[in-house]
Amino acid sequence: MDFKNITIAGSGVLGYQIAFQTAFHGYHVTVYDINDDVLKKAAAKFDILAQAFEKDLHASKEQLASTFDRLSYSSDLAAAVAKADLLIEAVPENPTIKIGFYQELAKVAPEKTIFATNSSTLLPSQFAQETGRPEKFLALHFANEIWKHNTAEIMGHPGTDKTVFEQVVNFAKSIGMVALPLHKEQPGYIVNSLLVPLLSAATDLLVNEVADAQTIDKTWMVATGAPTGPFGILDIVGITTAYNINKMSADATNDPLKIKTVAYLKEHFIDKNKLGVATGEGFYTYPNPAYQSPDFLK
């Protein structure tokens, strides 16, 4: 299939980045979300993202103008997907929400449309049957700040058609990604199989009052040379995502430490709308977080 029209479902932390990156590379992109107010907020975020593309990729004014011309918006799922060759789902990391979305999507999407989930931790096989087209369903996972951290992990489930898999690998390359095909299903894929244990260890240290967030970040940054510590990373990923992942684990295992972590994140961040970079405050305040200060590691 020669992809031309791409629909991005969900305009949150990663959804709007995927949409802009895809439009920047020449595709017609429809951004879908649950209502027009959410879509207006997404449109405002694109203006900020354009500045990042200009700074980090040296994108020209002409390139950015063309990118905006290729973006459209819809809160009507049937209209949003009517011409889609590929739909990339980036709705909240909650199985119930994803299942409900795919059940609705299956009723309105054209037969040609390939479905891809951007889930960070959930497996395609968990939703394949709900899509109504399991052979045309797989995972396409991006890292945050995708224009710089340009990884695209492609992971099918046992029923994914091999041709569809290769088409999505080629699509990922066409939008400037380093395509990373996985040969079998793996919770957390590659990136999060490595990253989630780090973030979990950091939050364990924090909620157990071993050290504060900045001290933990300093330790990691000094010891490894990393530019960002685990709590800086959590702000970039989005604290809502961390909360949802920990809550799923707490509900499934009744692990006292996970339960404590969920309560901590809810009290100090979720309830106060301190969700990380997206809201201007999380473990740090933005746009100039303390960990970027030259004095932070002293």
Return the CATH number at 257. Answer: 1.10.1040.10
pLDDT by residue (tens digit) across 152-176?
999 999 999 999 999 999 999 999 9
Give the pLDDT band of residue 245 (cuts 50, 70, 90): confident
- What pLDDT, on the 0 to 100 scale, is given for residue 182? 97
Please give the mean pLDDT across all residues of the chain: 96
pLDDT by residue (tens digit) across 48-58?
999 999 999 99
Share of the chain above pLDDT 90, in %: 91
The answer to whether residues 191 and 198 touch, using CB atoms and an 8 Å cutoff, is no
Does residue 204 sit within a domain?
A: yes
- Which pTM does this prediction carry? 0.81
Beta bridge partners of 116: 88, 138
- What pLDDT, on the 0 to 100 scale, is given for residue 1? 67
Whether residue 123 is found in the same domain as residue 13: yes
Domain that holds residue 251: 192-292
Whether residue 178 is found in the same domain as residue 201: no
The CATH number of the domain holding residue 84 is 3.40.50.720
**Contacting residues for 258 by C-beta, under 8 A, at least 6 apart:** 246, 249, 250
User: What are the C-alpha distances in Å from 2 to residues 25, 27, 113, 171?
Assistant: 14, 11, 12, 9
Does residue 72 sit within a domain?
A: yes
Q: Does 93 score more than 90 pLDDT?
A: no
Domain end position, chosen among 182, 216, 239 = 182
Q: Does 268 score more than 90 pLDDT?
A: yes
* Strands 151-155 vs 137-142: parallel, antiparallel or unpaired: antiparallel
- What pLDDT, on the 0 to 100 scale, is given for residue 132? 96
Whether residue 157 is found in the same domain as residue 201: no
Coil vs helix vs strand at 225: coil
Q: Give the total number of structural domains in the chain.
A: 2
Whether residue 131 is found in the same domain as residue 165: yes
Does residue 297 sit within a domain?
A: no
pLDDT by residue (tens digit) across 179-238?
999 999 998 899 889 998 999 999 999 999 999 999 999 999 999 999 999 999 999 989
The answer to whether residues 9 and 90 touch, using CB atoms and an 8 Å cutoff, is yes
Whether residue 111 is found in the same domain as residue 255: no
Check residue 281 and report its DSSP letter: B
